[in-house]
Amino acid sequence: MKGDYQELVDEISALLGAPATLENRDFGLIAFGAHDSDSFFDESALDPVRTRSILTRKSTPAVRAWFEGFGITRATGPVRIPAAPDAGVLRDRICLPVRHRGIVLGYVWLLDAEPGPSPARLAAAMEVAARIGDLLADEERAGADLSRELRAALSAERGWQYDMALAALRTALGPDADGLHALVCVAPWPDEEGPSFRTIPGAAALCTLPWRLPAGSGSGGTAGRTGYGEAPGPTGADPGAGPGARGAAGARSRHGEASGGAKVRDTTDAAGPLAVTGPAGPYGARGSDTAHALAVVVRLRSADNLAPATTAATRLRDAAGPGAVAGIAGPRRGLPELDTAWHEATAAARAAAAQPRLGPQALWSAIGPYRLLTALPAGEPDPAVRALLTPAHAELARTAETFLDHAGQAGRTAAALGIHRQTLYYRLSRVEQLTGLDLDAGEDRLLLHMALKAARL
pLDDT tens-digit readout, 360-409:
999 999 998 888 887 777 767 788 888 888 889 989 988 988 898 888 89
Nearest 5°: the CA angle 391, 402, 433 is: 55
pLDDT tens-digit readout, 119-163:
999 999 999 999 999 888 877 666 566 888 899 999 998 899 899
238 within some domain: no
* 385 contacts 432 by C-beta, under 8 angstroms: no
139-143 contacts: CB < 8 A, separation 24 or more?
139/1, 140/105, 141/172, 141/173, 141/174, 143/197, 143/198
Q: Residue 305 — pLDDT band, cuts 50, 70, 90?
A: very high
Please report, for the domain that includes residue 277, its CATH number: 1.10.10
For residues 264 and 310, which has the higher predicted lDDT (pLDDT)? 310
Task: Note if the bond before 232 is cis, omega within 30 degrees.
Answer: no
Q: Residue 113 — pLDDT band, cuts 50, 70, 90?
A: confident
Question: Do 356 and 299 have their domain in common?
Answer: yes
Q: Answer whether residue 11 shows pLDDT above 90.
A: yes
Q: Answer whether residue 62 shows pLDDT above 50.
A: yes
Q: What average pLDDT does range 221-242 have in this prediction? A: 35
164 within some domain: no
Question: Do 55 and 112 have their domain in common?
Answer: yes
Q: What average pLDDT does range 86-95 have in this prediction? A: 79
Q: 184 pairs with which residues across the strands? A: 296, 328
- Parallel, antiparallel, or unpaired for β 103-111 and 93-100? antiparallel
Question: Do 253 and 362 have their domain in common?
Answer: no
Helices 147-155, 160-173: inter-axial angle, 10-degree rounding = 150
Question: Do 68 and 138 have their domain in common?
Answer: yes
111 within some domain: yes
The SS3 of residue 193 is coil
pLDDT-wise least confident of 85-89, 134-138, 332-336: 85-89
Q: Report the distance separating Cα 455 and Cα 290, nearest Å.
A: 19
Q: So what's the pLDDT on residue 3?
A: 54
233 within some domain: no
Burial class (CB in 10 A: 0-12, 13-18, 19+), 140: middle
171 within some domain: no
Question: Do 209 and 70 have their domain in common?
Answer: no
Q: What average pLDDT does range 329-347 have in this prediction? A: 94
158 within some domain: no
Q: So what's the pLDDT on residue 225?
A: 35
pLDDT-wise least confident of 21-35, 71-85, 281-295, 311-325: 281-295
Question: Do 124 and 258 have their domain in common?
Answer: no
For residues 425 and 61, which has the higher predicted lDDT (pLDDT)? 425
Question: Do 366 and 400 have their domain in common?
Answer: no
- Parallel, antiparallel, or unpaired for β 332-333 and 325-328? unpaired
Question: Do 14 and 90 have their domain in common?
Answer: yes
State the chain's mean pLDDT as an integer.
77
For residues 56 and 224, which has the higher predicted lDDT (pLDDT)? 56
44 within some domain: yes
Question: Do 49 and 135 have their domain in common?
Answer: yes
Q: Quote the percentage of the chain above a pLDDT of 70.
A: 73
Choose one of 373, 391, 426: the last residue of a domain: 373
What are the angstrom distances between the C-alpha of 432 and each of 84, 161, 279, 384, 453?
92, 50, 23, 10, 18
Q: Report the distance separating Cα 334 and Cα 300, nearest Å.
A: 12
Highest mean pLDDT range out of 36-50, 304-318, 372-386, 438-452? 304-318
Choose one of 373, 406, 428: the last residue of a domain: 373
Please report, for the domain that includes residue 74, its CATH number: 3.30.450.40
Length reported for the chain: 457
Q: Answer whether residue 96 shows pLDDT above 60.
A: yes
Q: Report the distance separating Cα 93 and Cα 226, nearest Å.
A: 73
Report the b/e string of 243-274 with b at 16+ CB within 10 A. eebbebeebbebbbeeeeebeebeeeebbbeb
**Which of 375, 296, 292 lies closest to 338 in space, CA to CA?**
296
pTM over 0.85: no
Q: Residue 235 — pLDDT band, cuts 50, 70, 90?
A: very low
Q: Report the distance separating Cα 290 and Cα 54, nearest Å.
A: 50
Q: Report the distance separating Cα 421 and Cα 235, nearest Å.
A: 9
Q: Residue 289 — pLDDT band, cuts 50, 70, 90?
A: low
Q: Report the distance separating Cα 21 and Cα 15, nearest Å.
A: 14
Question: Do 289 and 414 have their domain in common?
Answer: no
For residues 202 and 95, which has the higher predicted lDDT (pLDDT)? 95
* 8 contacts 128 by C-beta, under 8 angstroms: yes
pLDDT-wise least confident of 53-62, 90-99, 226-235, 427-436: 226-235
Domain encompassing residue 203: 178-221+285-373
Q: So what's the pLDDT on residue 119?
A: 92
Q: So what's the pLDDT on residue 259?
A: 36
Question: Do 385 and 310 have their domain in common?
Answer: no
- What is the count of structural domains for the chain? 3
Question: Do 54 and 185 have their domain in common?
Answer: no
309 within some domain: yes
pLDDT tens-digit readout, 245-285:
333 334 433 444 433 333 322 322 333 333 322 333 334 43
* 253 contacts 246 by C-beta, under 8 angstroms: no
Q: So what's the pLDDT on residue 67?
A: 87
Q: So what's the pLDDT on residue 263?
A: 32
Choose one of 373, 401, 423: the last residue of a domain: 373
Q: 21 pairs with which residues across the strands? A: 32, 109
Q: So what's the pLDDT on residue 244?
A: 35
